[in-house]
Structure 1
Amino acid sequence: MKNIKKLLLLVGVFAFALTSCEEGGYDDYGMDTTPSVAMNGEWWVDIIDEASGSVLAQHILHKTYDTNAGDGRMFIDDNQNGYWIKGTVAVDLNNFTFSTTDEENLADPGSTFNVTEGMILKNAALSESGVVVDSIYFKGEFSYDPGTIIIFAGHKRTGFLEDEY
């Protein structure tokens, strides 16, 4: 009787091993990427008043991420840590540029913003520890302060402890 139980257990384990390794049905599965994935990331950004050159804030974490709508736009978001900006910008994936006009500011309801001269430069900056990373640059203008141009310039976050601010 013990031998029959052992044999049934062995057959059961063998059958489970065969069926658990089945790869059928996954031929069409692939990891989806968003259209603007090359421009997405987290960025350490300095915020500068264009007219005076005064640094208004340093090392503010901003994020760029896709809208998932397939509409050629991505979000810019500072999680209300800098100049309170959150909205979508039109992206040109051929030259890594972006811009928008009169975009609703989701971080500050009732206001809008413009983004001009937005660009991501591949491998054009150094992180705090000297690692080569991408650079981001854009100019922003907000509806509550028309005519005041704010420069946002920084580099991509690596996620390494030595690069955190």
Structure 2
Amino acid sequence: MKRILYCIAIILGVVIALSSCQKKIEKEYNWAYPVAGDWKLKAYIDGDEIYGPFEIKIYNTSFGQDSVWIDDYNGNFWDMKFKAKVDMSTLTFQTAGSVNAIPKYDITIKVTDGKIINKDSIYFNMEFEDDPGTIYTLAGHRAVGYDDYMQD
């Protein structure tokens, strides 16, 4: 009888030890989420669609928690990569005139009315220094978000 109890105790100990070794993985979001992500957009002028769909990426900068990079990484719409100020409490972003980080296209880019709606839609207006007076409205939805990257 002692042997049976001894074997049960060993088996129970092994089961408890193995089950306590499994870590529960908590998803950690970057401070810039839900502004950050991959976005599929269309471009409009005065309500008329002129281009799209195309993708841009928005991601955090290394300069603090007040700005993000907006990056048309493939030059699908406009060769651009620039910083915009972000307000995470209202999920809005803008820039009065940010210099394009792509040296070949050294222009300023103005963004107004930038906002994230329900964490999966985006809307903003842009004006480029080399195309003054033309306001481009970019709108679309999240193509790939943080949750998609973190899938098991």
Output the TM-score relative to the length of structure 1.
0.65
Is 1:96 paired with 2:91?
yes
CA–CA distance in 2 between the matches of 1:70 and 1:34?
A: 12
Report the equivalent of 1:77: 71
CA–CA distance in 1 between the matches of 2:40 and 2:33?
A: 18
- Offset of residue 70 of structure 1: 1.1
- The SS at the match of 1:106 is coil
Identical amino acids, percent of aligned pairs = 33
- The SS at the match of 2:62 is coil
- Offset of residue 33 of structure 1: 5.0
CA–CA distance in 2 between the matches of 1:83 and 1:55?
A: 15
Report the equivalent of 1:150: 136
CA–CA distance in 2 between the matches of 1:135 and 1:38?
A: 10
8 Å contact kept, 2:67–2:86: yes
- Offset of residue 57 of structure 1: 1.2
Is 1:86 paired with 2:72?
no
- Offset of residue 71 of structure 1: 4.2
- Offset of residue 109 of structure 1: 2.6
8 Å contact kept, 2:69–2:82: yes
Is 1:138 paired with 2:134?
no
- Give the unaligned 5+ runs of structure 2: 1-20
For residue 57 of structure 2, what is the amino acid of its counterpart?
A: K
8 Å contact kept, 2:39–2:55: yes
For residue 109 of structure 1, what is the amino acid of its counterpart?
A: Y
- Give the direction of change, closer, same or farther, for the CA distance of 1:70–1:78 in structure 2 (3 Å limit): same
Report the equivalent of 1:109: 105
1:70-93 superposed Cα distances (whole Å, 9 cap, x missing partner): 140001111111122210100000
Q: Which has the higher contact order (CA 8 A, sep 6+)?
A: 2
- Offset of residue 135 of structure 1: 0.3
CA–CA distance in 2 between the matches of 1:114 and 1:83?
A: 13
Output the TM-score relative to the length of structure 2.
0.71
Deviation beyond 6 Å, 4+ runs, structure 1: none
Paired residues in the alignment total 123
- Give the unaligned 5+ runs of structure 1: 1-20, 22-29, 124-133, 161-165
8 Å contact kept, 1:35–1:70: no
CA–CA distance in 2 between the matches of 1:83 and 1:116?
A: 17
For residue 113 of structure 2, what is the amino acid of its counterpart?
A: E
User: Aligned-residue CA RMSD in angstroms?
Assistant: 2.6
